[in-house]
Chain A
Amino acid sequence: MLLDYTTLKLIWWLLVGVLLVGFAIMDGHDMGVGTLLPFVGRDDVERRVIINTVGPHWDGNQVWFITGGGAIFAAWPLVYATAFSGFYWAMLAVLWALFFRPVGFDYRSKIDNPTWRRTWDWGLFVGGAVPPLIFGVAFGNLFLGVPFSFDAQLVSTYSGSFWELLSPFALLCGVVSSAMISFHGAIYLAHRTQGELQWRALRGAGFFGGLMLLAFAAAGVWLWMGIPGYVIQSALDTAAQPNPLAKTVVREAGAWFANYRHYPLTLALPAVAFVAVPAAQALARSGRTMAAFWASALAIVGVIGTAGAALFPFILPSSIDPNASLTVWDSVSSQLTLTIMLVATLLFMPIIITYTAWAYRVMGGKVTAAYVRENSHSAY
């Protein structure tokens, strides 16, 4: 075997993180654009301009979500099984919100009727706004612990409800996530539009960037002051065959900050977020919108990285049976499967990034009202 089991488990934690960040950067910017659509675009032509900035790309970007799901299934089957069945209604809300996107994008401009088009505008808003909100809330619940347990045959039972997910801290995390995605979408929109629309996008970026950092800082303080973390107490054999029932876990105040205490370098992650957001805003205002997009992407790396580094090695802590919490060591696939999936990822990721970049280059440049009018039958 190429790599030992412990290393593979670590790599897959990083890779799932990469996929999550990739999803937030790529699908995130078109979701952000969808969220801003009804507010930034005042008439049909403006809205078509906005939609066409992501028109050729949203579908490819959405595959980050699909592949992320597939990768969690393949690399962390117990997490895939426990989280998605436990968060049943939250997950369905994400899926149902996403239903509006393919049809919204493709069907909206096919019929020239104001009611029809306005309806799909709000559909695209729901498809853009709901998933980031719910993902943020879900992340918040990871810090709080999730009420699930296993029997001896590893059948999982979830004993919470959808409404219990909506605690104040989790909702605050939802605000972080929503603001982050709207910010990212606004920066992208500033990159692809001009004139009045671009100006409105920049104002959106100003507001959502501020809100994002404020909520991010508030969530950090709340986590520090009031939310106990999880600690593995028993001796740890990271190379063991995964069995989530073989450890003891306790809850301890301040434990979510243990990794930051032990590895101070990880503090760079939140710092990146705090630097990258104002940097992106300044770059966008000075017209260097491409650089602004990457700064905004870096801010996403910072925020998601901050959460991941705090949680490590936990993925899905259990509030009712902490010992059954799922970690990067004991909820993973076999060594063979992790190896095969690693090879597949290393093989295909560069190819995907290459043709995605090509697609953006081919379709690059500002989208204008003139473009929409000239291509009225083929544009979105």
Chain B
Amino acid sequence: MVTEQVVDLSRLQFAATALYHFLFVPLTIGMVWLLVIMESVYVMTGKQLYKDMTRFWGKLFGINFALGVTTGITMEFQFGTNWAYYSHYVGDIFGAPLAIEGLMAFFLESTMIGLFFFAWDRLSRKQHLLVTILMAVGTNLSALWILIANGWMQNPVGAEFSYVTMRMEMTDFWALLFNPDAQAKFVHTVSAGYVTGAMFVLSISSWYLLKGRDVEFAKRSFGIAAAFGFASVCSVIVLGDESGYTVGEAQQTKLAAIEAMWETEPAPASFNLVAIPNEAEMKNDFAVEIPWVMGIIGTRSLSKQIPGIKEIKAKNRERIVAGIGAVTALEALRRDPDDVHAREAFERHKADLGFGLLLKKYTVDVSQATPAMIDRAVNDTVPRVTPMFWSFRLMVAFGFGMLALFSLALWYSVKGTFADKPWLLRWAVYFLPVPWLACEVGWFVAEYGRQPWTIYGVLPTHLSVSTLSVESLYGSLAGFVGFYTVLLVVEMYLMTRFAKQGPGSLGTGRYANEAHA
């Protein structure tokens, strides 16, 4: 029996496992390119220092990668275990990018990482560099296919519902592939990963510099990280998710919630820098507005309007009412596929089927939905404003904080004086956790902002779950969180230990803190 508790626990488990997974993924995505850069310099100049850099940072990369793989296994199977109806309903579309990810990207990445670590003496320099590059390509292609899948959840293009098979079916693979939402998300997400990788190397190198050891090693690492990080943080901010907001209704709804924009303003809309949103009365109790900015960011024009929450809800109300017809006709068709009237009615309303299904949360028989139920379903169509509003601002603040740091780091790196700027080095050390916080908050904005849907406009979250018992879900949730937490503690211990020991852990005899093991 699917109760609200089953839905909430399933969501909590997905969020927990995805957020854990995403503690490791961004670092992998970003650091792999830093390894490519370091090794390329080694191959071009033949300087041993750059090989040592590749191997030492590679060692830390490996410690992180292990948990990325561990937590990633869960993600591939969790749709089946916990989101069975979702898997059936959209597997025809959603499964393909996941399978292709395995074939095209994950095999490549995982095979090459073995050679990266173990084949230094068995391959020529150029061959080994090729291995590292293929590992990086595999990692990033992996992100591409996952975000194509995710992009389709936000903006489900190239698919149509079939009442015979009772599911969504693919009609246009290229639309799925070139979904503008997926493209924007891909660029934004991998760039965030690049920033994470750069911050990791920048922070730890700064720490060595503050301690005054392995100075040459740390300086070179700092320089590469500063340049790579500056380019990446610009990419996150400029090419970032903003470009995706104009696409599709899901993003419009998110945008309105993020901005706490209750009314549709005359274009160009103003931007709420800070506000205290009041959900009950659908207004802001307090707001600091900057004129024009929102309209320009959101539409890249001075004349296009951005719909406010009230307007979005009014439109959704019409779609829910029309959706009642679609659900009722579909249920008749499932009883008798030859019912001509039902088929006509279904064809008329089928664009609004998903909106009709929103009412299933409140009644089994949608045709008997009361106005009060419709009101509640309408209210569900916009995610809660306060968490969206503040988590987005937090993410942006982190982004600009890192932009400032990387700008100064690059500036003083070009001048060659960063090693004498303890304030800069300390700033870099303290900022180590910031990209992770930004990534996790960003995930929240993107996925909480999609609620109440798993597939926007197509399938409500509360219908997507497996029919599991509450006890099973408590058990598995506790198991995942417990297991992951233990593994995270072990990982942090190893990471800290090797980061503290520094390049001496390679056992080459060239660095401080030589390994004795």
Give residues in A with beta carbon < 8 Å to B.
55-60, 62-63, 65-67, 69-71, 73-75, 77-78, 80-85, 88-89, 91-92, 95-96, 98-99, 101-103, 105-107, 110-112, 152-158, 241-243, 333-334, 336-337, 340-341, 344-345, 348-349, 352, 355-356, 359, 362-363, 376-379
Given A92-B81, A156-B84, A362-B123: A70 in contact with B487 (beta carbons within 8 A): no
Selected contact of B70 from candidates A102, A349, A359, CB within 8 Å = A102
Q: B423 contacts the other chain (Cβ, under 8 Å)? A: no
Given contacts A82-B84, A88-B466, A103-B490, contact A352 B107 (CB under 8 A): yes
Chain B residues with CB under 8 Å of A379's CB are 118
Give complex CA distance A333, B106 in Å. Answer: 23
A74 touches B98 (CB 8 A): yes
Q: CB distance A110 to B498 under 8 Å? A: yes
8 A Cβ contacts from B449-471 to A = 466-468
At the interface, is chain A mostly helix, strand, loop or mixed? helix
In Å, the complex CA distance between A60 and B138 comes to 12
Q: Which 8 A-B pairs have the closest CB atoms?
A: A77-B91, A84-B80, A67-B102, A74-B95, A56-B114, A73-B95, A70-B99, A60-B111
Q: Does B393 contact A (CB under 8 A)?
A: no
**B110 contacts the other chain (CB 8 A):** yes
Closest chain A residue to B103, Cβ basis: A348
B273 interface residue (CB < 8 Å to A): no
Segment with Cβ contacts to A, from B159-167, B182-190, B254-262, B432-440: B159-167
Beta-carbon contacts under 8 Å, B469-493 to A: 472, 476, 479, 483, 487, 490-491
Having A85-B81, A96-B479, A377-B515, one finds 13 other A-B pairs with CB under 8 Å, namely A56-B119, A57-B114, A80-B79, A81-B85, A98-B70, A103-B67, A111-B517, A153-B334, A242-B165, A340-B96, A344-B104, A348-B107, A356-B111
- Across the interface, name the chain B residue whose C-beta is closest to A364: B122
Q: Does B73 contact A (CB under 8 A)?
A: yes
State the main secondary structure of chain B at its contact with A. Answer: helix
Is B62 positioned at the interface, with any CB of A under 8 Å from its CB? yes
Count of A-B contacts with CB under 8 A?
Answer: 251
Question: Can you spell out 19 A-B residue pairs with CB atoms less than 8 angstroms apart?
Answer: A60-B111, A63-B106, A66-B102, A69-B77, A70-B99, A73-B80, A82-B88, A83-B80, A84-B84, A88-B476, A95-B74, A107-B63, A241-B164, A333-B95, A336-B170, A337-B95, A349-B103, A376-B517, A378-B506
Tell me which of A96, A341, A377 contacts B505 (CB under 8 A).
Answer: A377
Interface size class on chain B is 35 or more
- Please determine whether A362 and B483 come into contact, CB atoms closer than 8 angstroms: no
User: Given A67-B99, A85-B467, A344-B100, are A73 and B91 also a contact pair (CB < 8 Å)?
Assistant: yes
Q: Is the CB of A91 within 8 A of B77?
A: yes
Q: Which of A74, A82, A105, A154 contacts B166 (CB 8 A)?
A: A154
Rounded to whole angstroms, the CA-CA distance of A317 and B195 in the bound complex is 50
Q: Is B282 an interface residue (CB 8 A)?
A: no
A7 to B54, CA, bound (A): 50
Q: A63-B102, A107-B66, A352-B103 are in contact. Are A84 and B81 (CB under 8 A)?
A: yes
